[in-house]
Copies of this chain bind each other. A is one copy, B any other.
Amino acid sequence: MKTELGTQFGIDVPIYAFSHCRDVVAAVTKAGGLGVLGAAWMTPDELAMSIDWIEKQVDGKPFGVDLVFPGTGGDEKSPEEYLKQIPEGHLSFVKKLLDDAGVSDMSEADRNAYMAEYATKMAMTNKKSQEQLDVVLSKPVSCVVGALGVTPDWVVKQAHSRGIKVGALVGSGRHAAKQKDAGVDFLVAQGTEAGGSVGSIASMVLWPQVVEGARGLPVLAAGGVTRGSHILAALALGCQGVWIGSLWLGTAESDLNMEMREKLFRSESEDATLSFAMTGKQCRILNTDYMKAWNRPDAPKPLKWPMQSILGGYPFKRAERSHNMDYWSYSVGQAIGDMKGHTTVKGEFERLLNEYLESLEALNARTSYE
């Protein structure tokens, strides 16, 4: 089960974990995998503190940081400028939606504060990316992974100058070839079944297409991975490990709201659907009543990213404060169909490894029986 990339990182098992939660990242690395902190929304200070905290936990073991690189966020704007751009019709649509559902409203000051908080988080600019990267470069981070678009030259150069590997998420074989040309060290092939911003090609089709497009670069398999047999399938399809996101939302180390977590456990894979109404980009999310409302004939067209995300700051916080999970949502993959209760990172590692060995034994029996 050792792979070239895993050996280069010095990890025991080729399980790579994406999480916004530093506790998950540290627990994954301690369990023998490689945790990657989703930090695109963090200020440089938050990022520095999170990295320092993880470093103290992992005793020299490797971990990474996931960022979004320039060209995607546009010019820097103040939160107030973003708020001014939200059309009245969109605001009144979500207000009425939650009013009709009997979800308590909040003051206009609170509303604007929450949307401003989201605006600060979501506004990804060249300047912010460079500041985040500067933090990463000054810390003992093993890899930095770009989540959107072709990795800029300066990112690759600066990271390599500090011995930090560069990874990139891709959703097609064409993107794989472009990232290879951009000089990255490994790719994460993310199938459409993954949570959050995704393409349209499913993992079964995508993973080997990316392996081909990568022309020798190591590829990690992402999108729908929840089982030990998935690790075996990923290796069979030419990948060097798996990249897992959604599964950690059910662990004790996750900081996800407990009521949303329970709602995820009650959901099936079909309930993680594609929508533009979460962020303005194609995004796989839990298909709650809030998300469904955006498909109604009277619904406005979702705003462009990041405006639609910023708008969400108001209804989602309102629903969360009222403990009404039907008018909130969360980015999650089709993996949720396999998540049925509370777990721990260590427990999930043990399960994945046991299942992997069982699958390998069953496969060996099947493939040698001729």
Contacts and interface: CB of A to CB of B under 8 A. Distances in A.
B359 A236 contact: yes
Q: How many copies does the complex hold?
A: 2
A366 B235 contact: yes
A346 B172 CA distance: 29
Interface residues of A, number: 48
Contacts of A201: 193, 269-270, 334, 337
Contact of A172 (B224, B235, B270, B335): B270
Contacts of A238: 229, 359, 362
A38 interface: no
A235 B362 CA distance: 9
Contact of A202 (B273, B334, B363): B334
Contact of A205 (B172, B205, B269): B269
Given A1-B367, A172-B270, A362-B238, A205 B224 contact: yes
A70 interface: no
Which one of A202, A223, A230 has the highest number of Cβ atoms from chain B below 10 Å of its Cβ? A202
A149 interface: no
A223 B193 CA distance: 14
A202 B273 CA distance: 11
A370 B2 contact: yes
A235 B367 contact: yes
A331 B268 CA distance: 27
Interface string A46-74: 00000000000000000000000000000
A370 B6 CA distance: 12
A158 to B, nearest CB: 32
Interface string A220-249: 000111110110110111100000000000
A203 interface: yes
| Residue from A224, A233, A366 with most neighbouring chain B CB atoms (10 Å) | A233
A134 interface: no
A191 interface: yes
Interface string A182-204: 00000000011100000111111
A255 interface: no
A233 B224 contact: no
A208 B367 CA distance: 18
Contacts of A233: 204, 233, 236-237
Contact of A337 (B173, B227, B268, B363): B173
A338 B235 CA distance: 20
A268 B202 contact: no
A230 B237 contact: yes
A345 to B, nearest CB: 21
A335 B205 CA distance: 7
Interface in A161-217: 172-174, 191-193, 199-206, 208-209
